[in-house]
Structure 1
Amino acid sequence: MATYIDWRLRGPGVDLCNCAFGCPCQFNAQPTHGKCEAAVGFHIVEGHFGDTSLADLHVACTFAWPGPIHEGQGQCQAFIDERASEMQRQALLTILCGQEQEPTAFFAIFASTVTTLHEPQFVPVEVRTDRAALTASIRVPGAIDGRVEPIRNPMDGSPHRAKVVLPEGFEFAEADCASASFNTAGAIALDYVGTNAMLYDLHMGPSGIIRA
Structure 2
Amino acid sequence: MTSYVDWRLRGPGVDLCNCDYGCPCQFNALPTHDGCEAAVGFHIVVGHFGKVRLDNLHVACTFAWPGPIHEGHGQCQPFIDERATAEQRQALLTILSGQEQEPTAFFAIFASTLETLHEPQFLPVEVHTDRAALTASIRVPGLIDGRVEPIRNPMDGAVHRVSLLLPEGFEFGEADCASATFDTWGAIALSHTGTNALLYELHMGPHGIIRA
Same fold (TM over 0.5): yes
Query: Residue in 1 aligned with 2:111?
Result: 111
- Report the Cα distance in structure 2 between the residues aligned to 1:2 and 1:142, rounded to whole angstroms: 41
Query: Residue in 1 aligned with 2:33?
Result: 33
One-letter identity of the residue aligned with 2:74: G
- Report the Cα distance in structure 2 between the residues aligned to 1:112 and 1:34, rounded to whole angstroms: 20
Query: Residue in 2 aligned with 1:6?
Result: 6
One-letter identity of the residue aligned with 1:91: A
- What are the superposed Cα offsets for residues 11-60 of structure 1, whole Å, 9 maximum, x if unpaired? 00000000000000000000000210000000000000000000000000
Pair 1:95 & 2:95 matched: yes
Q: CA RMSD in A?
A: 0.3
Pair 1:23 & 2:23 matched: yes
Q: Secondary structure at the match of 1:116?
A: strand
Q: Secondary structure at the match of 1:101?
A: coil
Query: Residue in 1 aligned with 2:158?
Result: 158
- Report the Cα distance in structure 2 between the residues aligned to 1:165 and 1:75, rounded to whole angstroms: 28
One-letter identity of the residue aligned with 1:68: P
One-letter identity of the residue aligned with 1:208: G
Q: Secondary structure at the match of 1:107?
A: helix
Task: List runs of 5+ in structure 2 lacking aligned partners.
Answer: none
* Residue correspondences, number: 212
Query: Residue in 2 aligned with 1:127?
Result: 127
Q: How does 1:42-191 map to 2 (within 5 A)?
A: 42-191=42-191
The structure 1 segments of at least 4 consecutive aligned residues displaced by more than 4 Å after TM superposition are none
- What are the superposed Cα offsets for residues 163-193 of structure 1, whole Å, 9 maximum, x if unpaired? 1110000000000000000000000000000
> Percent of aligned pairs with the same residue?
81
One-letter identity of the residue aligned with 2:6: D
- Report the Cα distance in structure 2 between the residues aligned to 1:63 and 1:167, rounded to whole angstroms: 25
- Report the Cα distance in structure 1 between the residues aligned to 2:97 and 2:182, rounded to whole angstroms: 24
Alpha-carbon deviation of 1:136?
Answer: 0.1
- What are the superposed Cα offsets for residues 104-163 of structure 1, whole Å, 9 maximum, x if unpaired? 000000000001000000000000000000000000001000000000000100110001
Query: Residue in 2 aligned with 1:210?
Result: 210
- Report the Cα distance in structure 1 between the residues aligned to 2:3 and 2:26, rounded to whole angstroms: 30
The two structures have a TM-score, normalised by structure 1, of 1.00
The two structures have a TM-score, normalised by structure 2, of 1.00
One-letter identity of the residue aligned with 1:171: E
